[in-house]
Amino acid sequence: MQEQFSRTHTGFDIKPEDIKPPVQFDLTKPSIGSGFFEIQTDTVISENLENKARQPLHGNETATLITNADLLMKHGENELATHLLRKCLYLNSTHPEALKRLAECLTAEEDLPIKVKVMQTLVQSDLNFETVARLGHCYYQSKQDQKAHATYMQALSLLTDESPELFEVFKNLGNLNLRDGEFDSAEEYYNKAFTLNSRSDVLLVNLGTLALQQQALDLALTRFREALEINHRNDKAWVGLAMVHNSMGDHVLARANLENALDVNSSNRTAVHLATSWSVRDQDLGFAVSVLENYVSQVDCDEEMSLLLIHLFCLRNQFVEARLELERLLLWNPTDEKLLKIEQEIAHAKP
């Protein structure tokens, strides 16, 4: 959780004159009471029950809240900006600009459910291609594939002029179709995205993945190399290149590609899984163990990968290390019968 606002820790200095008066609000109490938010104060509940009219909303008050939120967002103080935007939404629960900015502030993965509700509310009051497309992005990021697909198609039906969001819509529709095994549809959407931006290393990786799925290895090789020419630190491109070379039988080059991917991003799960699998195949258990140890030290809990590491520890007679990793798993799930059984097996194992 971010620290409370102070001039000494933010890295910038907001002077008193930078914050426009005269809005008064209390950041210590919940302030949103309508739309998708729940009212949480007895005072507000009482006022609603008594059907008391709110004070008229003055345009300058809303503008001041949004202006001050913009200032905070500019300096990375999204949590404080969120307080101001919620105050604005308490006064007007469907204010489009406040909703747009609040969605921008909600960047953490755990904020996705709230961000979806924010965008759903925004679409109701401001129905256009961009707002619907951004709602589709939220569904896509939260892995609600069917809703994402339907929302993207709705967005396309509202398209009147070219929009910066169009590239992302086409790219993500390609990804959704690729996941469903609809290769022709995926290729169609990828090509549409490619006409809008042929220099996207992310899209080129997707095109390479599609070619790999279709066993078009030469084309996949070209796409992954093109992606790396644009962005040499694209770890997914290195992984794709490794998979192509492995399919071509060049295991040495495939491993070198994986090592490059792990140098860029040691928590790339696909790279770690492939490196482990190929190292076991090549009887290089030491490399597999080092890659897995590095990975599990960076994530909260990945039971599958931890169990794989425990298995490798046991194969190398490293039972002390196996017990330590198992104890870490048991902290997350102390009553898991499978883990408890493995604990007993390790306890009776002999070096």
DSSP string, 92-137: -TT-HHHHHHHHHH--SGGGHHHHHHHHHHHHHHS-SHHHHHHHHH
For the chain, the maximum distance between any two Cα atoms, rounded to a whole number of angstroms, is 78
Quote the pLDDT of residue 200.
97
Low-confidence ranges of the chain (pLDDT < 70): 1-59, 350-351
* Class at the top of the CATH hierarchy for domain 270-351: mainly alpha
What's the rounded Cα separation, in Å, for the pair 342 and 325? 11
Predicted pLDDT of residue 255: 95
Task: Tell which residue, 207, 205, 258, 195, has the closest CA to residue 230.
Answer: 205
Q: What is the pLDDT of residue 63?
A: 87
- Kindly report the length of the chain: 351
pLDDT at residue 332, as a whole number: 87
If 0-12 CB within 10 Å is exposed, 13-18 middle and 19+ buried, where does residue 137 land?
buried
> What does the pLDDT read at residue 59?
58
What does the pLDDT read at residue 301? 86
- At 29, list the tokens: 């109490």
When computed from its CA atoms, the radius of gyration of the chain, rounded to whole angstroms, is: 26
Helix axes 235-247, 217-230, angle to 10 degrees: 150
Residue ranges, CATH 1.25.40.10, the chain: 270-351
How many CB atoms are closer than 10 A to CB 90? Answer: 21
pLDDT at position 39 is: 32
What 3-state class would DSSP assign to 297?
Answer: coil
Cα-flanking dihedrals φ and ψ of residue 266, to 5°?
-70, -10
Long-range contacts of range 319-328, CB-CB < 8 Å, 24 or more positions apart? 319/346, 319/349, 319/351, 322/346, 323/347, 325/296, 328/296
Express the helix, strand and coil content of the chain in percent, nearest 5 each. Answer: 70, 0, 30
Distance CA 107, CA 177 (A): 26
Chain-centroid distance of CA 244 in Å reads 27
